[in-house]
Amino acid sequence: MSSTALDSFLDKWRSRWPEWSVAAPFVAESQRELAVAWFALLQEFDDMLNTGGDPLPADAKLAWWGEELRSWAGQRSRHPLGRVLEPIRAPWAQLAEALPDLVEARTAALDAANAERALANYAGAVAAVEAALFLDTPGKDTPRKGAARAVLLQTLAQRLHETGVAGIPRSLLEEDAGSAAQDWARQLLKGWGTRVPGPRARRVWSSLARARLAAQAAGKPVEATPVRTLLRVWWAARG
């Protein structure tokens, strides 16, 4: 597997999150490439969750990824991202088992509770992998209660950003379709603090995603200037 193939996946994620150039120094240098590789993988899953049109190609990719992740337990990766991620002993099989939930989660949720339930198992699996990926020694910065919820809220926010109406619970659309997107953004923000549980890499990325959602909730463009980004990630990185 060529380094060019790996770089294409890493660069694709960086192009979607240009703020990361400011945020990256708040992650330990030894974990920066690992963090981007992991987030690039999650973006692949987000794309399959939020696909439009014919879902069959995305379903086939999810099935392939399920097999791929299971093979990582035996350190037999085929995907370029596996070059970075596979050497880490993490619960890859648990994540593989959760991927089919993304197919079901594409269906428009009836309400907020339904939207959260649909992705709860997946978010828990992601949080479990992150705990293994980013904890240097047992007991250091141990995962805290709520790490999975932080993943869940960010996944739902990304779904809203990418799919619009398809990512909004039906109950909000029925109340007021015109303001439903902002209403859903505000609901997601209620439980999403400026600092979240979990490893530092997640906390830093979460702060960037939260800023985007807050702007959507307010009906304004996100203010992602270097100074504002610096302040956000500094606060988030403190833990």
As for how many domains the chain has, the answer is 1
* Inter-residue contact 86 to 72 (CB < 8 Å): yes
Q: Which of 116, 215, 192 minimizes the C-alpha distance to 159?
A: 116
* Inter-residue contact 152 to 119 (CB < 8 Å): yes
Distance CA(121)–CA(36), nearest Å, equals: 23
Distance CA(160)–CA(96), nearest Å, equals: 24
* Inter-residue contact 15 to 42 (CB < 8 Å): no
CA dihedral (154, 157, 159, 161) positive or negative: negative
Q: Tell me the pTM.
A: 0.93
| CATH number of the domain where residue 212 is located | 1.10.600.10
Beta-carbon neighbour count of residue 72 at 10 Å? 22
Burial class of residue 53 in the structure, from the number of CB atoms within 10 Å of its CB (0-12 exposed, 13-18 middle, 19+ buried): exposed
Range of the domain at 156: 3-237
Q: What is the pLDDT along the chain (239 residues), one digit of tens a residue?
A: 457 889 999 999 999 999 999 999 999 999 999 999 999 999 999 999 999 889 999 999 999 999 999 999 888 899 999 999 999 999 999 999 999 999 999 999 999 999 999 999 999 999 999 999 998 444 444 455 589 999 999 999 999 999 999 999 999 999 999 999 999 999 999 989 888 999 999 999 999 999 999 999 999 988 878 899 999 999 999 86
Q: Which of 91, 152, 150, 147 minimizes the C-alpha distance to 120?
A: 152
Residue 2: DSSP 8-state: -
| Residue where the block lists tokens 């086939």 | 60
Distance CA(124)–CA(149), nearest Å, equals: 8
Residues written for the chain: 239
SS3 state of residue 169:
coil
Q: How many helices (H) and strands (E) does the chain have?
A: 13, 0
